[in-house]
Structure 1
């Protein structure tokens, strides 16, 4: 009797592993942001280069960064980074930030701004942009 129970347990464990194998989960922890001073001055203020990397295969949409007090004397393309006035900035105008993608921008201000991932929607391979498995709504 112990053998059928062991087989049943093994079968269930294998089934769970097979179902989980194809599901990739990405979080805001997979968004890596680095920032370095470039050594240039713009209107007497130091310039900073910010690089945002998506370290996961999932695509992020509506990726918002916390950017408290963000200000710059150097124009930043609003299609790359758009402050919303409440301490948050929208990356790429909310469009797709694909898996393993990277983007950079520069800005110049007296002190660097702390950029951290705040929120996003993401889709992983096999799901649509609403998080449903392809073909299922």
Structure 2
């Protein structure tokens, strides 16, 4: 009987630790990398941006600080909604982002420091 009780308590403790770990996601769980593609568009180098959610939970409405962001290449607004007035960009607006990376490209003289500033987590 005591052996069964210990096993049950261990399982409960394990599940509690797992659920606690899932709820501690933060902006540091959003990885953003930029690389030159080697392509030139209207005389400007093209940049490929990959955003990865490393949180075990889905995230939604990831907002990037993109103050001053410019591009001569069209970006699909379902991938990145750019609001030039506020200097904020929303990654895949109103869509859950799981583990699959989100990728888009833009063309400008240099890369922009796109920094995550907000997200909604769904555990």
Structure 1 position 54, deviation (Å): 0.6
Q: What residue in structure 1 maps to residue 18 of structure 2?
A: 21
Question: 8 Å contact 1:43–1:73 — kept in the other structure?
Answer: yes
Partner SS, residue 112 of structure 1? coil
Structure 1 position 16, deviation (Å): 6.2
Structure with greater strand share of residues: 2
RMSD, matched Cα: 1.6
Bigger CA radius of gyration: 1
Q: What residue in structure 2 maps to residue 53 of structure 1?
A: 52
| Structure 2: segments with no counterpart, 5+ residues | 1-9
| Structure 1: segments with no counterpart, 5+ residues | 1-13, 125-137
Q: Normalized against structure 2, the TM-score is what?
A: 0.81
- Identify the structure with bigger relative contact order (alpha carbons < 8 Å, sequence gap 6+): 2
Counting only pairs closer than 5 Å after superposition, residues 98-117 of structure 1 correspond to structure 2 as 98=98, 100-117=99-116
